[in-house]
């Protein structure tokens, strides 16, 4: 029997957050960011197992045709799942990223009642905790890095992030891009959010980057239902020499994962 993951079962639930390594470039679309697996397990011969298989199969089959979709298992309506790709990328990138994400889930979250994985260009989640359509601005992962900048760079960063917040709600995917001088920024919402909820989530993400990244020339933050990034010099990622400059910063707020779930964090050696 599967155990429902709800706010009432926070303590029995354990999520694992694995942090992104320094030096991963933005075009490594299947690069790993984080994953979470519920502590509750289901049996291989259960109806819930059939539901999880059905949902993830539907996710894989849909990814070549749309950047977002969600599914409910026909055999067990408590099992739901969704995926979200970066809406500006080609369908082939989305499909490949989602396949990689499902493979990660299979290896990291085998038989887990709920699971989620964020790769560089896509996000996949399944479970029975009624997360569809719900806002979530909890910080799951935040990283600031690059060679230290100056006040001028901070001003450009703030303007670029402000452009994301001010952008009209985009149709068909929740992707936004903006820039100011040498700094570029982008954000992506999960497709189950409405236009206002997406804007609110992007605003919360931008505020986290402005408040937490100081003079960093690159940064990214992942919230429960959206993420945002900024970078300088047109490379879209973190400087591979950031660690050598001693300026790399990894920050995770271990408060709650997707609002109703608890997790712990594990940093990888850089």
Digit-coded pLDDT (tens) for 184-209: 999 999 999 998 999 999 999 999 99
Question: Does the domain made of 32-127 have the CATH classification 3.30.430.20?
Answer: yes
Residue pair 24/73 in contact (Cβ under 8 Å)? The answer is no
Question: 139-232 has which fold?
Answer: Killer Toxin P4; Chain A (3.30.430)
What pLDDT does 50 receive?
96
- Classify the C-alpha dihedral 190-9-52-115 as positive or negative: positive
Q: CB count, 10 Å around CB of 264? A: 11
3-state secondary structure 184-199: EEEEEECCCCCHHHHH
Model confidence, pTM: 0.81
Tell me what pLDDT residue 208 has: 96
17 pLDDT tier (thresholds 50, 70, 90): very low
Ordered by start, the domain boundaries in the chain are 32-127, 139-232
Average per-residue pLDDT for the chain: 80
Give the pLDDT of residue 203: 96
What percentage of the chain exceeds 90 in pLDDT?
63
Q: What is the pLDDT of residue 248?
A: 42
Residue 148: helix, strand or coil by DSSP?
A: coil
Whether 233 has a pLDDT exceeding 80, the answer reads no
CA distances (Å), 18 to each of 167, 251, 269, in order? 31, 12, 11
- Distance (Å, whole) CA 86 – CA 17: 21
d(CA 164, CA 159): 9
Summarize the confidence of residues 33-48 as an average pLDDT: 93
Confirm whether 32-127 and 139-232 share one CATH topology. yes
Q: Is the pLDDT of residue 256 over 90?
A: no
Proportion of the chain above pLDDT 70, given as a percent: 74
**Residue indicated by tokens 């992104």:** 20
| Residue 241: both structure tokens together | 């020499």
- Inter-axis angle of helices 195-212 and 151-166, to 10 degrees? 170
In degrees and rounded to multiples of 5, residue 90 shows phi and psi of -65, 155
Collapse the DSSP code of 257 into the 3-class scheme (helix H, G, I; strand E, B; otherwise coil) and give the result.
strand
pLDDT tens-place string over residues 81-128: 999 999 999 999 999 999 999 999 999 999 999 999 999 999 999 999
Residue 219 confidence (pLDDT) above 70: yes
Q: Are 27 and 115 in contact (CB under 8 A)?
A: no
For residues 160-174, average pLDDT: 81
3-state class (DSSP) for residue 250: strand
């Amino acid at each position: 029997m599967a155990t429902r993951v709800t706010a009432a079962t926070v303590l029995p639930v354990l999520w694992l957050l694995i942090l992104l390594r320094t030096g991963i470039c933005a075009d490594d679309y299947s690069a790993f960011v984080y994953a979470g697996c519920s502590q509750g397990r289901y049996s291989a011969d259960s109806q819930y197992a059939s539901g999880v298989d059905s949902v993830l199969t539907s996710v894989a089959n849909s990814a070549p045709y749309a950047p977002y979709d969600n599914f409910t298992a026909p055999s067990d309506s408590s099992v739901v799942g969704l995926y979200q790709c970066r809406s500006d990328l080609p369908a082939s990138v989305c499909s490949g990223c989602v396949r990689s994400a499902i493979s990660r889930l299979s290896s990291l979250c085998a038989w887990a009642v709920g699971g989620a994985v964020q790769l560089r260009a896509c996000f996949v989640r399944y479970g029975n905790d009624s997360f569809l359509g719900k806002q979530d601005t909890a910080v799951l992962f935040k990283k600031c890095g690059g060679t230290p900048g100056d006040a001028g760079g901070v001003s450009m960063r703030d303007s670029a992030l402000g452009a994301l917040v001010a952008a009209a709600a985009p149709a068909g995917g929740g992707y936004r891009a903006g820039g100011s001088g040498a700094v570029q920024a982008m954000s992506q919402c999960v497709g189950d959010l409405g236009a206002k909820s997406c804007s609110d989530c992007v605003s919360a993400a931008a505020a986290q980057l402005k408040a937490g990244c100081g003079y960093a020339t690159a940064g990214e933050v992942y919230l429960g239902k959206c993420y945002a990034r900024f970078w300088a010099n047109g490379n879209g990622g973190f400087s591979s020499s950031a660690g050598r400059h001693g300026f790399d910063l990894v920050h995770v707020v271990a408060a709650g994962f997707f609002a109703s779930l608890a997790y712990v964090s594990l940093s990888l050696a850089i």
